[in-house]
């Protein structure tokens, strides 16, 4: 189920810059005057995502973000990189198509002589994955005239409110006095896990007291949300991922009724009439616009 408009098709292949090799001239012989100098490669926006092996979600979420960035910045070459090698390997085995990991993508930019690169992650927060990108990028900084890392989705209070409003708008059709809207994030051992509690506070402060935030691998837990929603008097629950893509976590950790530890099973066992919306945040136009704005901020800071 989705309340977003049909997204335009995403063209996955990025334009590859080319290097021009000039043959050496004999000593003392000038190069012909009509030979044009090698063109300077276009600046690049490298969109870096964790990735997903679910092709439909990959196109509807990561592809949509990349497409919106490409439309907003036509003077830039927009490229893709994933950080999850297991997903890269799975896609290549399944389709024969290789997606660069971060280092491969950056090495290509260096080899092509690109002068300016904006790295825009699609991660929700500055957890371990984002920190890994930041640390790795430092090794490449001297290879470019401009090299800037964009902010993750929930980088500021304004971002957090905008994300809450976007989710609220997308879920209004499921709301009634009996229904809790339960969002499932990934969770992390990093300090940034506190952002899930922050998002819970944001929903509450906006008056959206029927919204509850849980995580797969940290806190708040599924049981925490089941107890909170029951204490608030709700008898039904609609679950959706608080994740950019709707991949393995959404389909299995959230929505698999055969897994007794899944979110849907925990909520059902707690007595809720439960259903699932398997949509990634990247399917929401308002979410994609936040990433576009973060690219703008990165370009302005370069």
* Residues labelled as active-site residues: 186
| Inter-residue contact 267 to 274 (CB < 8 Å) | yes
- Give the tokens for residue 111: 């080899």
DSSP β-ladder status, 179-185 and 146-149: unpaired
In sequence order, the β-bridge partners of residue 211 are 181
To 10 degrees, the CA torsion angle through 137, 138, 141, 147? Answer: 50
Adjacent-strand bridge partners of 276: 239
Q: Residue 285 CB: number of other CB atoms within 10 A?
A: 15
Give CA separation, 254 vs 52, 114, 208, in Å.
16, 42, 22
- The torsion of the CA quartet 97, 87, 50, 115, rounded to 10 degrees, works out to -40
Instruction: Give the full edge-to-edge strand order of the sheet including 44-49.
Output: 77-82, 44-49, 116-121, 146-149
Strand ranges across the sheet with 273-276: 211-215, 179-185, 236-241, 273-276
Q: Report the SS3 class of residue 240.
A: strand
| Contact between residue 62 and residue 29 where contact means Cβ atoms under 8 Å apart | no
Q: What is the largest CA-CA distance in the chain?
A: 88
CB 191 within 8 A of CB 162: no
């Amino acid at each position: 189920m989705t309340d977003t408009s049909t997204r335009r098709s995403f063209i996955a292949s990025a334009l590859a810059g080319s290097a021009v090799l000039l043959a050496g001239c004999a000593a003392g012989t000038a190069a012909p005057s009509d030979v044009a100098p090698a063109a300077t490669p276009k600046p690049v926006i490298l969109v870096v995502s964790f990735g997903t092996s679910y092709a439909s979600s990959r196109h509807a979420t990561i592809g949509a973000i990349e497409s919106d960035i490409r439309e907003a910045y036509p003077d830039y070459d927009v490229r893709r990189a994933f950080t999850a090698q297991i997903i890269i390997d799975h896609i290549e085995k399944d389709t024969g198509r290789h997606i660069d990991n971060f280092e491969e993508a950056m090495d290509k930019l260096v080899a092509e002589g690109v002068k300016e690169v904006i790295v825009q992650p699609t991660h929700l927060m500055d957890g371990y994955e984002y920190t890994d990108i930041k640390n790795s990028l430092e090794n490449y900084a001297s290879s470019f005239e401009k090299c800037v890392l964009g902010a993750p989705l929930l980088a500021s209070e304004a971002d957090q409110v905008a994300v809450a409003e976007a989710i609220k708008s997308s879920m209004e059709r499921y709301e009634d006095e009996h229904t809790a809207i339960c969002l499932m994030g990934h969770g992390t051992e990093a300090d940034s896990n506190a952002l899930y509690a922050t998002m819970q506070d944001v929903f509450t402060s906006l008056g959206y007291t029927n919204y509850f935030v849980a995580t797969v691998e940290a806190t708040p837990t599924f049981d925490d949300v089941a107890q909170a929603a029951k204490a608030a008097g709700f008898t039904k629950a609609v679950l959706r991922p608080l994740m950019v893509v709707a991949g393995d976590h959404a389909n299995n950790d959230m929505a698999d009724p055969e897994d007794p530890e899944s979110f849907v099973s925990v909520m059902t066992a707690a007595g809720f009439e439960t259903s699932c919306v398997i949509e990634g945040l990247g399917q929401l136009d308002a979410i994609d616009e936040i990433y576009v704005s973060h690219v703008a901020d990165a370009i302005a800071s370069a």
